[in-house]
A = this chain, B = another copy of it.
């Protein structure tokens, strides 16, 4: 594995690889570093599926709000390099802020609707920064496949929307959240937790498990599912809820909170953001519902929506 911190070195390494193997797949795992087993699993999957895997490590100032943890976000490039290499990466691209933004960036990639709930609502501007930096990384690496963890399910939905809308030639590969043995979703921010916060944070995965069990109850609704998850989280005295929501996925559109889930045929997400002390953790679970009457489209409807037919 080689470590590069400039765009010109990255491009040179990619050009060598492309001339050596014009049809070999290139994989990209974009990260903010401080890599953990969740990232390791993305890198392993990329290395298995692609001939050449690029891991980027860049704490992107554009996606942090003014009162967020950009400055104190944990960094350890040496450990990241060892983990990336051990899991099959060919290049670690770790640019400086100046390398990525050599002058004031005037261009933003803005994605609407899918960014307006959950973390997009709690962290204004966050997904503008994500869209912009991910666009840059896609353009720099020109990977065939890019791997993202589903812990950031909204990020996956946002990036997929951007890729579809802008015809970006990359396949987005969503990968399952990796958890600690006791259920806590892996996150670079877990390092901020003290022992007591760490113990109480287990309530998040417990709330998701519990929702999975109660989902099929005949009278269950989206509103009740969210309320019960929030109730369970509040049993942890240190938990401060930012949001607990049940939405459609990947559109992240609202559901009727009172409609019985048994009547719904859609994929839903139960998404959580909860602070423990100063540390904001997120987690989620997807549920595929197959209830309701199959919807039969009649001729009038087909004619009324020409812009959506192919």
Taking beta carbons and an 8 Å cutoff, which residues of A are in contact with B?
Answer: 7, 22, 98, 101-103, 105-114, 131-132, 135-136, 139-140, 142, 161-162, 165-169, 306-308, 310
Give A22's nearest chain B residue, CB to CB. Answer: B22
Q: What residues of B have a CB within 8 angstroms of the CB of A308 in the complex? A: 102-103
**Given A132-B166, A166-B136, A167-B140, does the pair A113, B106 have CB atoms closer than 8 Å?**
yes
A168 contacts across to B, CB distance below 8 A:
139
| Pair B306/A98 contact, Cβ less than 8 Å | yes
Task: List 26 interface pairs A-B (beta carbons < 8 Å), by A numbering.
Answer: A22-B22, A98-B306, A102-B307, A102-B308, A102-B310, A103-B307, A103-B308, A105-B165, A106-B111, A107-B110, A107-B111, A107-B112, A107-B131, A107-B161, A107-B162, A108-B110, A108-B112, A109-B109, A110-B110, A136-B165, A139-B166, A139-B167, A139-B169, A140-B167, A140-B169, A142-B169
Q: Using A136-B166, A167-B139 as known contacts, say yes or no to A106 and B102 having CB atoms under 8 A apart.
A: no
In angstroms, Cα B99 to Cα A306, docked, is: 12
Indicate how many identical chains form the complex.
2
Instruction: Decide yes or no: A7 and B167 within 8 Å by CB, A107-B131, A109-B109, A110-B107 being known contacts.
Output: yes
Among A105, A107, A114, A169, chain B packs the most CB atoms within 10 A around the CB of A107
- Measured between alpha carbons, how far is A161 from B308 in the docked complex, in Å? 33
**Shortest beta-carbon distance from A45 to chain B in Å:** 25
**B165 near A106 (CB under 8 angstroms)?**
yes
Grouping DSSP codes into helix (H, G, I), strand (E, B) and loop, the A interface class, with mixed when no group exceeds half, is mixed
Task: Report the separation of the CA atoms of residues A114 and B139 in the bound assembly, to the nearest whole angstrom.
Answer: 22
Residues on B with C-beta less than 8 A from A109 are 107-110, 166
Give chain B residues whose Cβ lies under 8 Å from the Cβ of A307.
98, 101-103
| CA A102 to CA B131, docked complex, whole Å | 21
Chain B residues within 8 Å of A102, by CB: 307-308, 310
Which residues of B are found within 8 Å of A105, using beta-carbon distances?
165
Across the A-B interface, the 6 shortest Cβ-Cβ residue pairs: A107-B165, A139-B167, A106-B112, A105-B165, A107-B162, A107-B111
- Please state if B106 and A161 are interface contacts (CB–CB under 8 Å): yes
Distance of A140 Cα from B163 Cα, bound (Å): 11
Task: Indicate the member of A22, A105, A165, A308 with the most B CB atoms within 10 Å.
Answer: A165
A170 to chain B, nearest CB (A): 9
List B contacts of A114 (CB < 8 A).
106
A135 contact from B110, B140, B166, Cβ within 8 A: B166
A167 in complex: contacting residue of B131, B136, B167, CB < 8 Å: B136
In the complex, besides A106-B113, A106-B165, 10 extra interface pairs with C-beta distance below 8 angstroms are A103-B307, A103-B308, A105-B165, A106-B114, A107-B109, A107-B112, A107-B131, A108-B112, A109-B109, A142-B169
User: Closest residue of chain B to A103, judged by CB?
Assistant: B308
Q: Which residue of B lies closest to A132 (CB)?
A: B166
In the assembled complex, the Cα of A190 lies from the Cα of B107 at a distance in Å of 32
- CB neighbours (8 Å) of A108 from chain B are 109-110, 112
Bound CA span A94–B114, Å: 30
